[in-house]
Amino acid sequence: MKALVTGGTGTVRSKVIDELLHRGVSVRALSRNQRTAKLPVGVETLVGDLLDPVSVEKALEGVDKLYLLNAVAPDELTQGLIAVDLAKRLKLQQIVYHSVFKAEVFKDVPHFASKLAIENALREFDLPFTIVRPNYFYQNDLALKDAITKAGVYPVPLGTTGISAVDVRDIAEAAAIALTGDGHLGKTYNLNGPDILNGDCVASIWSKLLGKPIRYGGHDMDAFEEEMRTKSPSWSAFDIRMMFQGYLERGFTAGKCDVEALTKLLGHPPRRYEDFAKEAASAWAAA
């Protein structure tokens, strides 16, 4: 079986590729740049852009299945529909679509609304789909080394209700199982971690691990958006602000059934944030 994996050089892509190779799948990866050095031996790279139907069609030719991950972009919906429509035209056997948890509850967040529309197209136009809906990634926090270890602050505005963040390794494993196993067509899998994590609780995990006080930075959303604008385009800062504001207002927590369902899919319980943080702290200390 041959699968096309999109998601360029992103966080999830390499883990999904590892899981597919481990299961004997032949993999083609789509990226906007030829950076083959980063890919494991045997993975075919195809340079293309998800906004360009000609290159997407070329990337899909000769593959049986598609793992579709779109980066957060102002044209995410168009990119997603181009891939979905062409996969239908080329009669692919399965599209595993990387969406987001609770997309229908966050219709005011641009990148959630785009994903919901793509999910709707997959369902309405009778495609052979499986949808994976991950919560917030643990691995996002790898970018917080200086804030946590130097400034002593956990700066992500997780609020008090909290989220059921998940490890990218569990997302990749779930995606590969859905792509290679039987009985996953038409299914939607929520991918959540086992713990409800809020700002204070994550700060206390880091305090315990590092042996010094790490405080939660709070959730002043105007200040957060302004800070985001210093490192990201304005539309993106707004989009991410709306997402965190939604977490504060509506929560982003999983139910017991969601975690049980993921445990059953993976064949083991989803990884815990505390263990991820322990690994990150050791890697930071060793660096």
Nearest alpha-carbon partner for 252 in 169, 154, 134: 134
Minimum Å gap between C-beta 86 and ligand NAP is 13
Distance, CA of 157 to CA of 144 (rounded, Å): 13
Measured in degrees and rounded to the nearest 5, phi and psi for residue 95 equal -120, 120
Say how far residue 95 (Cα) sits from the centre of its chain: 16
DSSP string covering 155-219: -S--TTT-B--B-HHHHHHHHHHHHHSSS-TT-EEEE--SS-B-HHHHHHHHHHHHTS--EE---
32 or 152: whose CB is closer to ligand NAP? 32
Minimum Å gap between C-beta 4 and ligand NAP is 11
Distance, CA of 23 to CA of 47 (rounded, Å): 24
Minimum Å gap between C-beta 195 and ligand NAP is 16
* Interface with ligand NAP (CB under 6 A): 7-13, 30-33, 49-51, 69-73, 79, 98, 100, 111, 134, 136-137, 140
101 or 216: whose CB is closer to ligand NAP? 101
Distance, CA of 41 to CA of 81 (rounded, Å): 31
Minimum Å gap between C-beta 213 and ligand NAP is 26
Minimum Å gap between C-beta 116 and ligand NAP is 12
140 or 234: whose CB is closer to ligand NAP? 140
18 or 152: whose CB is closer to ligand NAP? 18
67 or 136: whose CB is closer to ligand NAP? 136
